[in-house]
Structure 1
Amino acid sequence: MSAISPPFQSAAVEQLFARFPDAERAGLLGLRRLIFDTAAGIPDVGRIEEALRWGQPAYLTPDTGSGSTIRLGLPKAGGYALYVHCQTTILPDFRSLFPDAFDYEGNRAVLFRPGRTPDDDKLRLLIAAALTYHLR
């Protein structure tokens, strides 16, 4: 898994990504890159910490505390997913903007199928909302 940008922050996260099936790994790496790119464009977010939480890659804002944790993973139904805290309004707010643009799992996840290109512009809004949730 060379040329991953940004480089993984821990061997445990890198090993987990290496174990994902190829098609799902490609999608998850795209979401990972989108998280870091989105965060870089929001000065109030600060540094993104990449760690394992609940056995999944997780993205936190430890220096500023601006955001709610974002996780990436493989849902039981197949494909791959971006998860947010289910007791926030992050996903309900996003879903109200784009009710038919994505597949959702309750108030906790946006679901994706390998081989389908997600709408990065819309996903940036979701990621930005999660990364700045505590600034509201």
Structure 2
Amino acid sequence: MNADVQEKFDSYPTQIKPLILQLREIVFSVAEDLSLGEIDETLKWGEPSYQVKTGTPVRMDWKAKYPNQYFLFFQCQTKLVDTFRELYAEDLEFQDNRAIVLNVNSALPKKAIRHCIELAMKYKSIRHLPLLGS
């Protein structure tokens, strides 16, 4: 793990760190399952960020201002969150066109989150398609 990212993970409250680490594990699992190559793991805007050559960055974070929520952030200039909203309006909560909002007290909807991360990681090859090829 990138040292700056490790420091960020270590700064999360005890009950939050495993939730964010679970998102990180899904990112790496998707990249491996789809043979997408190396993941660039960095901090962007103070948030853990993950990107493969075929995709757009996926960031994740928890904010003290919203203690019962944690977030998956996506490039707001893309159609990603619009597509996620179309596909998963009943399963996920969204913040504008930039984030999936997750509740710390609810089970992670793994199948939907995995699919959203997959679409972000394949974004460069599907961005021209309606609903990003879904």
* TM-score relative to the length of structure 1: 0.86
* Aligned-residue offset at 1:94: 1.1
Aligned partners of 1:23 and 1:115 also within 8 Å: no
Give unpaired runs (5+ residues) of structure 2.
127-134
* Aligned-residue offset at 1:77: 2.8
Identity of paired residues, percent?
Answer: 28
> Residue deviations 1:89-135, cap 9 Å, x none?
11110110111211110111111121311111111110000000001
Amino acid in structure 2 at the alignment position of 1:118: L
Amino acid in structure 2 at the alignment position of 1:60: Q
**What is the alpha-carbon distance in structure 2 between the residues aligned to residue 23 and residue 95 of structure 1?**
28
* Aligned-residue offset at 1:60: 1.1
Q: Which residue of 2 aligns with 1:66?
A: 54
Correspondences of 1:1-136 after superposition (within 5 Å): 8=1, 10-43=2-35, 45-61=36-52, 65-75=53-63, 76-78=65-67, 79-136=69-126
Q: What secondary structure sits across from 1:22 in the alignment? A: coil
Q: What secondary structure sits across from 2:42 in the alignment? A: strand
**What is the alpha-carbon distance in structure 2 between the residues aligned to residue 97 and residue 90 of structure 1?**
11
> Residue deviations 1:56-97, cap 9 Å, x none?
100011xxx210000011244332111010110111101101
**What is the alpha-carbon distance in structure 2 between the residues aligned to residue 26 and residue 116 of structure 1?**
13
Q: Which residue of 1 aligns with 2:129?
A: none
Amino acid in structure 2 at the alignment position of 1:31: L
**What is the alpha-carbon distance in structure 2 between the residues aligned to residue 54 and residue 116 of structure 1?**
26
Give unpaired runs (5+ residues) of structure 1.
1-7
**What is the alpha-carbon distance in structure 1 between the residues aligned to residue 80 and residue 56 of structure 2?**
9
C-alpha RMSD of the superposition: 1.1
Aligned partners of 1:13 and 1:52 also within 8 Å: yes
* TM-score relative to the length of structure 2: 0.87
Amino acid in structure 1 at the alignment position of 2:34: I
Structure 1 residue runs of 4 or more that deviate by more than 4 Å after TM superposition? none
